Amino acid sequence: MGLVRGTPFDGRTLPWADPVTQDILSRITDTAHTLARWHTDGPAPDLDAARHTIQQALDIEESSEVLYRDLLHIEWAAGNQAAIRKTIARLQQMARTYEITLDSLTEDTISLVLSGRPTPTVSITTT
C-alpha cells in the first residue's frame, strides 16, 4: 500500500483506461483487505495499522463494501463506538450517492457492531 498514491490516472476519465482502472481498484481493495487481516491476526493485533491501511484504500475506492466491513470490524475490535457510527454514516452516504443497495453481509455487519455484543478477539473474517 506504500506505493499507492491517489486514484489511478489522477482521477481523469479516460474511456480507454476504464478496464485498467477497474483492475487497479480491485487489486487495491484486495491488497488492503489482506493486509488488514494480517494486521489483525494473532495475539497482539495492530489495529492502528489495519485502520490506516483500510482508510488509505477507502480514500481511493470509496465504494468498496468489503473495505467498509473491514473498518467496522476493526473499530468494533477497538471498542470505538464513535468511529463505528462515523463509518456507518459514511457507508450509508456512499450508498445514497451511488444509488446502491447494501449487500446483506454489510447489513449483517452493521447489525453486529451495533448489537452491544462483546468485541471480538480474532482477526477480520469476512470478505
pLDDT exceeds cutoff 70 at 105: yes
List of domains in the chain: 18-114 (1.25.40)
Q: For helices 81-98 and 104-114, what crossing angle results, to 10°?
A: 160
CA trace torsion 114, 83, 56, 10 (10° rounding): 100
Q: Average pLDDT of 20-43?
A: 92
pLDDT exceeds cutoff 90 at 39: yes
Lowest mean pLDDT segment, chosen from 7-11, 44-48, 90-94: 7-11
110 or 120, higher pLDDT: 110
End-to-end CA distance of the chain: 19
Q: For helices 65-78 and 18-40, what crossing angle results, to 10°?
A: 20
4 or 118, higher pLDDT: 118
**Residue 110, CB-side half-sphere exposure with 13 Å CA sphere:** 16
C-alpha cell at 119: 468485541
SS3 68: helix
pLDDT exceeds cutoff 80 at 17: no
Return the pLDDT at 5. 58
